[in-house]
């Protein structure tokens, strides 16, 4: 494996999204940056990138060529870099992550809550949204009407969505309570959960995503909070 060359501190800080070259140089010269626990006020000081940790204005960060974020999405936020009608999901992240051009890995509707992944790694994004990769997504849907055995059977066997030519079946479907459905899908069609539930004779009142592939929404991650993976 090819080892990365040492990099000037100001370039490291700039690459991680903390501002322009001049701003990063000024922060370093002002004594606002420590590297591996030691103060460094030389913007041109060289550091190996492997296992590099630093603090910016007292906040700890680890160097990462790509960033992976797990967010507990609230209702009322658009999964768009240029939201039109509601607040954008990126507004919940700090400025340095936004500056790295992180993007939502797939989209959740404005009123849908739960697990949302974001990254600036194109391969990671493609892996988790491509239908060919068969990445399972698990949702909890609160339904308007009681969940019946026939309803579950339709979802597992396959339902025909409006404007679609072929039936679509859930990977799994089961009732968690009288009106709460757990639905597992491997695709990501537009409004797919809601459309499938309607096609099977019910209606979604609330929708919450629990997991995407191996990534599960942590119980201790509050609504609107995020953490690095």
Say if residues 17 and 99 touch (Cβ distance below 8 Å): yes
The C-alpha atoms of residue 199 and residue 207 are separated, in whole angstroms, by 16
At 165, list the tokens. Answer: 């030519």
> Which candidate in 42, 62, 109, 220 is catalytic?
109
Residue 75 CA to residue 223 CA, distance in Å, equals: 9
- Separation of alpha carbons 114 and 211, rounded Å: 8
Please give the Cα distance from 81 to 102 (Å, whole number): 9
Q: Strand 204-212 vs strand 113-119: parallel, antiparallel, or unpaired? A: parallel
**Of the candidates 113, 122, 66, the residue with the CA atom closest to the CA atom of residue 89:** 113
Residue with tokens 């870099």: 81
Question: How many C-alpha atoms does 199 have within 13 Å on its Cβ side?
Answer: 23
Q: Measure the CA–CA gap between 9 and 26, rounded to whole angstroms.
A: 12
Catalytic: 109?
yes
Positions marked catalytic? 109
């Amino acid at each position: 494996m090819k080892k990365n060359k040492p990099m000037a501190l100001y370039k490291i800080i700039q690459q991680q999204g903390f501002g322009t070259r001049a701003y990063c140089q000024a922060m370093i010269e002002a004594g606002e940056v420590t590297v591996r626990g030691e103060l460094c006020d030389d913007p041109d000081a060289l550091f190996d990138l492997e296992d590099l940790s630093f603090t910016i204005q007292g906040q700890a960060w680890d160097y990462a060529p790509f960033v992976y974020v797990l967010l507990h999405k609230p209702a009322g936020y658009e999964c768009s870099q240029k939201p039109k009608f509601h607040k954008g999901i990126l507004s919940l992240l700090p400025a340095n992550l936004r500056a790295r051009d992180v993007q939502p890995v797939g989209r959740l509707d404005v009123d849908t809550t739960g697990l949302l992944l974001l990254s600036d790694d194109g391969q990671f994004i493609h892996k988790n949204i491509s239908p060919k990769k068969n990445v399972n997504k698990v949702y909890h849907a609160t339904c308007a009407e009681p969940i019946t055995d026939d309803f579950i059977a339709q979802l597992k066997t396959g339902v025909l969505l409006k404007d679609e030519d072929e039936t679509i079946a859930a990977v799994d479907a089961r009732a968690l309570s009288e009106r709460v459905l757990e639905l597992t899908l491997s695709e990501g069609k537009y409004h797919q959960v809601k459309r499938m539930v309607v096609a099977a004779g019910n209606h979604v009142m609330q929708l919450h995503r629990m997991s995407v592939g191996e990534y599960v929404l942590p119980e201790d991650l509050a609504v609107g909070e995020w953490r690095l993976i």
